[in-house]
A and B are shown apart, each in its own frame.
Chain A
Amino acid sequence: MTTAVLPAGAATAPRSAPLGRLLGAELTWVLRRPRTLVMLGVLALIPVVIAIGVTVVGGDVPGPRGGPGLIGAIAGNGLVLPVASITLALALLLPMAVTTAAADAIAGEAASGTLRGLLLAPVGRLRLVVMKAFGVLVVATLAVLVIAVAGLLAALVVVGSADGQLVTLSGTTIGLGEALGRVLIMVVWTVGQLAAVGAVALALSSLTEHPMVVLASVLGGLIVFGVLSAIPALDWLQPYLLTSGWTAGADVLRDPMVWDGLVESSLRALCYTAVGGGLATYRMLRRDA
């Protein structure tokens, strides 16, 4: 019995490609897609458009500066721009970018018939999920970084900053180095939130062969979350909703910094990531080729 198993196992056991090569292949595949590049370009335009809007329009209006929201805090205080742009994009554009990538990753391949090849290839199913998740995470990170960098550049070139400092929402000023650190915290936190969106999208992506279904479900779900959190009678739902922690991004602009909201929303995102990632893996492990 044992002797019979060993040769059979040796013959059929897939020779796994190294993980590094798989991830590299996925990276090239994701980054070569025109839609990814176009999307990154559009995201880079957000801070530029805001900067021009605030400077050109806001500069001519007499009277006190500012206004409600983070946008109002940008005038003459450019270092707010990256944070404000990311906050704005996190509402819908960034989740859309990540969901598109996740929808393409599995459902898109199933729709075009290439998933069959991947499932039959000598790549473990778990590795396949890791590879696809990595691709989605790269898109999320790039998307946030593009906004942050474009925001910083637009801040320096178009808006200008208050003597090279950042005026916090609390009315204090912090230096350039610390301000860049705050932007970095914002980037890391946002990537964490997008990882949660991406994991859920990946789970849906593994359940269907239609990428549009994934996109519609995730974006529809985000809108439903927004509606639910606006209903006072459903207050008790708030701690379960991913989106309810998304106002915490503005906390990086407070001084002294408040960590509670950022940590809590990150933990919530981690839970969503576990649920989404677990379901995606569960589904892919039993999926027929």
Chain B
Amino acid sequence: MTAQDKTSGQGTTGRRVAAGVAVAGAVGLGLLALPGGAGAAPELPPVSAEELVSSVLTADIGAFDGTVELDNALGLPALPGMPQAADGDSTARVWSDGEGRGRVQLPTDSGERTLVSDGETFWAWNSEDQTVHTAPADGGPAERESAVADPTAAATEALDALRTSSDVRVDGTAEVAGRAAYELVLTPAASERTLLREVRLAVDAEHRVPLRLTVLANGSTEPALQLGFTELRFGPQDASLFTFTPPPGATVEPAPAHAGPMAGKPERLPDGVEPTVVGDGWDTVVVASGGDLAGALDDPSREGRGEGRPNIDLSALGTPVSGPWGSGTLISTAVASAIITDDGRVAAGAVPEQVLTEALGQ
């Protein structure tokens, strides 16, 4: 064995180690990219659907904090001031003290909206224009907006509205946010005319609160909408989270009467519009008249500053339709349809076009 061999032998070992480090890095990159969670379905004692539903409707979630992820494939266009409406993922951080006070933070890449309800006042902060909107915390429209980010409230509401016209069953278990959960499935009864195939609720096995709401539309295996916790901790929260002091230099102004910080979904109608409900259960159609939809679609923060409303061209969002009820624009998404008539009426629901036109004709 010569010195030459020895050096080259060391070089080979070194090269092997170096190559190993490089491969480890590449493998690590692949591991990081793997979707987390998705563990095996947990073993849970069987429970009947009726029992599960009634325990969900009476459950008291208490204080908690968590992270909520919204996976949106509704097919809505991006609305000004509400990036969450467009297709894609968005997250929210939620805190609740279980007694009506809560905090929701909606981060974007380089900004954040913070919604705080301290029991007396509802505060809505937007970092983009450094403005705080305030409203009395009376459960009014502004405060209800923050519930949009709360899968618990949204899911309980949906369950209450749909259970009478649905076939309810328990379909196995799932792991959501690291917690064991029952999968409760609501399928529309045969008589219901709806675009939806089923609504799935993952219900926490221990606290019996909904952890995830999944909406599946006809003709698609991918969820049209999924709202669920990715992290959740039960327990008392720091009281300072439920107070809000406007930071120095911020503009503080009362929220505009008809629009909360999360307004912007077409189904959130401006005040002064009298909605009537036609039908019940899955094929409920909400018919509203007298308001202008542009108000509901508008960017509330921009409007709050007294600037002109951007005119939304409805024809860009939908297709023109007409019938004995009049004429208007039909906007369809995977899970819902809406018709905005030329005389200012709006009909919307998780139903096909025909049900909407029937409702408009009544």
User: Cβ of A272 and Cβ of B29 under 8 Å apart?
Assistant: yes
Contact of A169 with B249 at beta-carbon distance under 8 Å, contacts A274-B21, A281-B21 already known: no
CA distance A239 to B35 in the complex (A): 10
User: Cβ of B246 and Cβ of A171 under 8 Å apart?
Assistant: yes
Which chain A residues lie closer than 8 Å to B21 at the CB level?
Answer: 274, 277-278, 281
User: Cβ of B3 and Cβ of A286 under 8 Å apart?
Assistant: no
Query: Which chain A residues in 75-94 approach chain B with CB under 8 Å?
Result: 75-77, 87
**Which of A19-27, A64-72, A146-154, A208-216 lies at the binding interface?**
A64-72
Can you list, as one digit per residue, whether each of B23-39 has a CB less than 8 Å from chain A (1) or not (0)? 11110111011000000
User: Cβ of A167 and Cβ of B33 under 8 Å apart?
Assistant: no
User: Cβ of B3 and Cβ of A278 under 8 Å apart?
Assistant: no
Contact of A64 with B131 at beta-carbon distance under 8 Å, contacts A254-B112, A278-B22 already known: yes
Our pick among B3, B30, B244, B305 for the contact of A171 (Cβ within 8 Å) is: B244
CA distance A146 to B128 in the complex (A): 28
**Which of B11-19, B276-284, B285-293, B352-360 lies at the binding interface?**
B11-19
Q: Is B248 an interface residue (CB 8 A)?
A: yes
CA distance A76 to B250 in the complex (A): 10
Which chain B residues lie closer than 8 Å to A281 at the CB level?
Answer: 14-15, 17-18, 21
Q: Is B110 an interface residue (CB 8 A)?
A: yes
User: Cβ of A278 and Cβ of B110 under 8 Å apart?
Assistant: no
Contact of A5 with B2 at beta-carbon distance under 8 Å, contacts A163-B248, A167-B247, A247-B110 already known: yes
Q: Please list 23 pairs of residues, one from A and one from B, whose beta carbons are closer than 8 Å in the complex, sorted by A's number.
A: A5-B2, A63-B305, A64-B305, A65-B251, A66-B130, A69-B110, A70-B110, A72-B129, A73-B127, A170-B125, A170-B127, A171-B114, A171-B127, A173-B248, A251-B107, A271-B28, A271-B32, A275-B29, A276-B22, A277-B21, A279-B18, A281-B18, A285-B15
**Interface on A for B, CB 8 Å cutoff?**
1, 5, 8-9, 12-13, 63-70, 72-73, 75-77, 87, 125-126, 162-163, 165, 167, 169-173, 239-240, 247, 250-251, 254, 258, 264, 267-268, 270-279, 281-282, 285-286
**Additional A-B contacts beyond A69-B110, A171-B125 (17; CB < 8 A):** A12-B3, A12-B7, A66-B129, A68-B111, A72-B128, A73-B130, A125-B14, A169-B107, A169-B127, A170-B125, A240-B33, A267-B32, A274-B21, A274-B22, A275-B25, A278-B22, A281-B14
